[in-house]
Amino acid sequence: MSQSAFNTPRLILKKVLAKSQHEGDGAVVRRGIGRSDLKNLDPFLMLDHFSVSPPGGFPDHPHRGFETVTYMLEGGITHQDFAGHKGTIRTGDVQWMTAGRGIIHSEMPAEANNKGLQLWINLSAKDKMIEPRYQELPSENIPKAEKDGVEVRVVAGEAMGVHSPVYTRTPTMFLVFSMMPGTEWHQIIPESWNSFVYIIEGEGVFGCPNSPPTVAHHVLVLSLGDGLSVWNNSSKPLRFVLIGGEPINEPVAQYGPFVMNTQSEIEKTIEDYQYGRNGFEMRKYWRSQ
């Protein structure tokens, strides 16, 4: 299995270290996707490995035209939105938020130390103005599987024969792997999807057995192909996410948390937000507590 698990194995196209930077109010993020040298890996707009402690956080802010996926690694985040939706996600939980035409919310730390991943997935033109929707999965409802020292949590998509119940309007795979020392894994990925790896901890060999190991906090952009091979030749556990999605192939116009297709749609969105229209009606009446 180690030599030719796939017809067209995915290899590493680009390797980028996600260095820490400040975001929000006193939060720190390692931005993997969405930085100037890795702007947009269609359909993905941003991947942040965030770390936030009180009194910091991400106070009231809007979103339109895409989805945000928050996966907690440690601690908790309390979210509150302008429609009265409120809750706390904790270690291992996922919030899959389809902002669609508009959400205004706050995302604030629930404990002393809070870490996680937040992924922004674009929506196609026909879905940008849909009604907002949440899919919330506590850790125990995220399908898990284990084989020969390799564990996977299937946040979206399918692996080891288990399927996530999350509906991905933009077809997406979001797999969280933990590999014990001395293990290998060969993961099928739909051939034409864009995909990348972000290493949470440890080090691994990705693509082919003789490629140099990659350490934590790097993003690996993968070439197209039918699957990815991974080896943990180190003496410590390796934890990473493998994320893939069907490219939308449409123009992207982004202004911070607004992602549309054209600049004039962005200008319209800024007006909608300013004047409280087309999904942002509550803007004038709502503040988080």
| Single residue of 67, 93, 107, 203 touching ligand FJE by CB under 6 A | 107
Task: Choose the stretch contacting ligand FJE; rule: CB under 6 A; options: 22-30, 94-102, 121-129, 186-194.
Answer: 22-30
By CB under 6 A, tell whether 23 contacts ligand FJE.
yes
Name the minimum Å distance from CB 81 to ligand FJE.
13
CB-wise, 10 or 63, nearer to ligand FJE?
Answer: 63
Name the minimum Å distance from CB 9 to ligand FJE.
32
By CB under 6 A, tell whether 67 contacts ligand FJE.
no
By CB under 6 A, tell whether 81 contacts ligand FJE.
no
CA 191, distance to chain mean position in Å, is 20
Instruction: Provide the 10 A C-beta neighbour count for residue 121.
Output: 25
DSSP 64: B
Name the minimum Å distance from CB 206 to ligand FJE.
25
Name the minimum Å distance from CB 77 to ligand FJE.
5
Task: Choose the stretch contacting ligand FJE; rule: CB under 6 A; options: 21-29, 161-169, 212-220, 239-247.
Answer: 21-29
Distances (CA, A) of 38 to 44, 124, 220, 263: 10, 20, 11, 21
| Single residue of 58, 185, 193, 198 touching ligand FJE by CB under 6 A | 58
Distances (CA, A) of 271 to 99, 106, 262, 278, 279: 17, 21, 15, 10, 12
Name 208's bridge partners. Answer: none
| Single residue of 9, 16, 70, 194 touching ligand FJE by CB under 6 A | 70
Q: 3-state DSSP helix/strand/coil percent for the chain, to nearest 5?
A: 10, 55, 40
Beta carbons of 101 and 66 less than 8 angstroms apart: no
Q: DSSP 3-state assignment of 283? A: helix
Instruction: Pull the structure tokens for residue 268.
Output: 């319209």
Closest CA to 117 of 38, 26, 46: 46
Exposed, middle or buried, 45 (CB in 10 Å: 0-12/13-18/19+)?
buried
63 known member of a binding site: yes
Amino acid in position 269:
T
Name the minimum Å distance from CB 269 to ligand FJE.
13
131 known member of a binding site: no
**Distance between CA atoms of residues 279 and 50, nearest Å:** 28
By CB under 6 A, tell whether 50 contacts ligand FJE.
yes
Distances (CA, A) of 277 to 40, 81, 120, 204: 28, 16, 23, 48
105 known member of a binding site: yes
Name the minimum Å distance from CB 167 to ligand FJE.
21
CB-wise, 106 or 183, nearer to ligand FJE?
Answer: 106
| Single residue of 16, 72, 77, 241 touching ligand FJE by CB under 6 A | 77
| Single residue of 16, 18, 29, 69 touching ligand FJE by CB under 6 A | 29
By CB under 6 A, tell whether 232 contacts ligand FJE.
no
What residues make contact with ligand FJE under the rule CB under 6 A?
A: 23-24, 29, 48, 50, 58, 61, 70, 77, 107, 118, 256-257
